[in-house]
Amino acid sequence: MMLPMSIPSPAEGVLWLGPIPLRGYAFAIILGIIVAVWVSEKRWQARGGRAGDIQDIALWAVPFGLVGGRIYHVMTDWQLYFGEGANPVEALYIWRGGLGVWGAIALGAVGAIIGARTKGIKIVPLLDTIAPTCLLAMGIGRWGNWFNQELFGRPTDLPWGLEIDPSRYPEGPSQFPEGTLFHPTFLYEFCWDVLAFFVIVYLQKKLRLGGGRVVALYVMAYCLGRGMIETLRIDNVQLADVLGLRWSEWMSIILFVLAAAWWAYATFTGRGKVEEEVYSDPAKAPGNDPDSKGDTEKDSVGDDADTGADTGTDNGTDAEESSTKA
């Protein structure tokens, strides 16, 4: 069996569900979110959380994350939408691609915190639960770049080089010779993110990590992978040279350092222990639902009444027996 000498790109970035078009980019994002929510729900219940909590919180976190990701993208590539000859309305065309990861994480976290507050959930245990699964969402979402033939790396002669339509070259069809293959950076990030997810989950169980250290590991792992992969990319970005590095590379460096600092602080101050209780309000915890308590009390009262009735019957029977004997 011969190995493929290149990875083809889709002829069009649209999947057809019968007569209904579904953009591949949107499909990848949606699939990533579904997987992340499903895995987070399993992890949350394993920690003692109530079933359905994560789905409810996702109703806050996902919209916030999408808006944050789009805002970050538009802010860092504003000329695409507000430069000369651009159409500002296209800033709203999120289905065409263009989500900034750090904006999505920042506002998504805000949404998750709001959702957690409404359910009496402690913030740190929640974030430690969902942070690793964000890697799955981000890795799967990167396949949207494959559908759009965007954000690929520099030319390569490796057997897994990516085929790109010349019309998608950053500087136009004449930028590279015909048949040029490119680093499939979307695939690199997908593999890195999935591997990092399993490593973090293993370390969390092995070392009993808590106190935000799982979040710190997630940020460090993503920044490390993103920083390395970013050096391969050749797409045009507005902030391509900030003190010799792309803006996204600086973000990876800065956030890696901050996450490492929090890891060290939480570890050496003893704040990095696992919190056994995940609800700030004990009444919100599973088994403490007022409705279920009411039902239990009713059952208890009913049992007492039945017991009393049985006792009365038994006493009556004993009295009859005594009277007969007398």
Q: Binding site: residue ranges?
A: 142
User: Residue holding tokens 């049985």?
Assistant: 310
User: Residue holding tokens 């460090």?
Assistant: 220
Q: What is the DSSP letter of 276?
A: S
Burial tier of 224 (Cβ tally within 10 Å: 0-12, 13-18, 19+) = middle
107's CB contacts (< 8 A; 6+ apart) are 64, 65, 67, 68, 69, 71
Which stretches within 11-52 are classed as H helix? 24-46
C-beta of residue 211 within 8 angstroms of C-beta of residue 190: no
Total count of residues recorded for the chain: 326
- Count CA atoms within 13 Å of residue 324 on its CB side: 6
Q: Look at residue 20 and give its three-state secondary structure.
A: strand
Q: Look at residue 71 and give its three-state secondary structure.
A: helix
